[in-house]
Structure 1
Amino acid sequence: MPAEAPKDVSIEEVVALTQTLVQIDSSNPDFGSTGGPGETAIATYITAWLQHRDIETHWIEQTKGRPSVVGIVRGSGGGKSLMFNGHIDTVTLLGYDGDALGAQIIDGNMYGRGTADMKSGLAAAMLALLHAKTLNLKGDMILAAVADEESESRGTEQLLAAGWRADAAIIAEPTGTDIINTHKGFALFEVDIHGKASHGSRPDLGIDAIAKAGFFLVELDKFAHQLQRRFDKEANPPETGAPSIHCGIIRGREEVASYPAKCTIHIERRNIAGETQEGITKELEVILENLVAAVPDFKHELRSTFFRPPYYLPRDHAFIKLVEGHLTTAMGGALITIRAEKYWTDAALLSDVDIPSVILGPRGYGLHSEKEWVEVESLRQLSDAFKSTMEEFCS
Structure 2
Amino acid sequence: MGSIENTPEGISSDDVIELTQALVRIDSSNPDFGSTPGPGESVIANFITKWLKHRDIECHWVESTPGRPSVVGIVRGTGGGQSLMLNGHIDTVTCLGYDGDPLSAEIKDGNMYGRGTADMKSGLAASMLALAGAKSKKLKGDVILAAVADEESESKGTEEVLRAGWRADAAIVAEPTEMALINTHKGFALYEVDIHGVAAHGSRADLGIDAVCKAGYFLVELDKHAQEIQHRFGDEKPETGAPNIHVGMIRGGEEIASYPATCSIQIERRTIAGETAETVRLELLEILQRLEATVPNFSFDLRSTFSRAPFHLPRDNDFVQLVSKHANQAMGVKPTIKGETYWTDMALMDEVGIPGLIWGPKGYGLHAKTEWVEVESVRQLASAFVGIVEDFCK
Q: TM-score higher than 0.5 here? A: yes
The within-5 A match list for 1:308-323 is 308-323=308-323
Structure 2: distance between partners of 1:79 and 1:320: 18
Is contact 2:327–2:334 with CA below 8 Å preserved after alignment? Answer: no
SS across alignment from 1:156? helix
Deviation at 1:61, TM superposition (A): 0.9
Greater CA drift, 99-108 or 115-124: 99-108
1:394 aligns with 2:380: no
Counterpart position of 1:60: 62
Deviation at 1:202, TM superposition (A): 5.5
Counterpart position of 1:302: 302
Inter-CA distance 211–100: structure 2 relative to 1 (3 Å threshold)? farther
Greater CA drift, 367-376 or 47-56: 367-376
Counterpart position of 1:261: 261
Structure 1: distance between partners of 2:355 and 2:211: 47
Structure 2: distance between partners of 1:104 and 1:210: 51
Structure 2: distance between partners of 1:305 and 1:257: 32
Structure 2: distance between partners of 1:305 and 1:17: 39
- TM-score in terms of structure 1 length: 0.92
Greater CA drift, 254-263 or 128-137: 254-263
Deviation at 1:303, TM superposition (A): 0.6
Counterpart position of 2:346: 347
Inter-CA distance 12–255: structure 2 relative to 1 (3 Å threshold)? farther
Q: How many residues align?
A: 390
- TM-score in terms of structure 2 length: 0.92
CA offset digits 1:199-228 (Å, max 9, x no partner): 556665544433333332232222111111
Structure 2: distance between partners of 1:17 and 1:374: 14
CA offset digits 1:325-378 (Å, max 9, x no partner): 1111111x2121111111111222212222110111001112223322211110
Gaps of 5+ in 1: none
Deviation at 1:30, TM superposition (A): 2.6
**Matching residue's letter, 1:382:** L
**Matching residue's letter, 2:173:** I
Counterpart position of 1:378: 377
SS across alignment from 1:381? helix
CA offset digits 1:203-254 (Å, max 9, x no partner): 6554443333333223222211111111224xx3311110001112223356
Inter-CA distance 199–92: structure 2 relative to 1 (3 Å threshold)? farther
Deviation at 1:384, TM superposition (A): 0.4
Gaps of 5+ in 2: none
Inter-CA distance 5–338: structure 2 relative to 1 (3 Å threshold)? closer
CA offset digits 1:297-342 (Å, max 9, x no partner): 32221111122221111111111111111111111x2121111111
For the aligned residue pairs, the C-alpha RMSD in angstroms reads: 2.1
Structure 2: distance between partners of 1:297 and 1:101: 56
CA offset digits 1:150-172 (Å, max 9, x no partner): 22222111111111111111111
Greater CA drift, 249-258 or 154-163: 249-258
**Matching residue's letter, 1:282:** L
The within-5 A match list for 1:144-223 is 144-198=146-200, 205-223=207-225
Structure 1: distance between partners of 2:232 and 2:172: 32
SS across alignment from 2:128? helix
SS across alignment from 1:128? helix
Is contact 2:7–2:47 with CA below 8 Å preserved after alignment? Answer: no
Inter-CA distance 50–294: structure 2 relative to 1 (3 Å threshold)? same
Structure 2: distance between partners of 1:91 and 1:212: 37
Counterpart position of 1:127: 129
Deviation at 1:293, TM superposition (A): 3.2
Counterpart position of 1:335: 334
Provide the identity percentage. Answer: 67
Structure 2: distance between partners of 1:252 and 1:193: 9
Deviation at 1:173, TM superposition (A): 0.9
Structure 1: distance between partners of 2:54 and 2:325: 33
Counterpart position of 2:325: 325
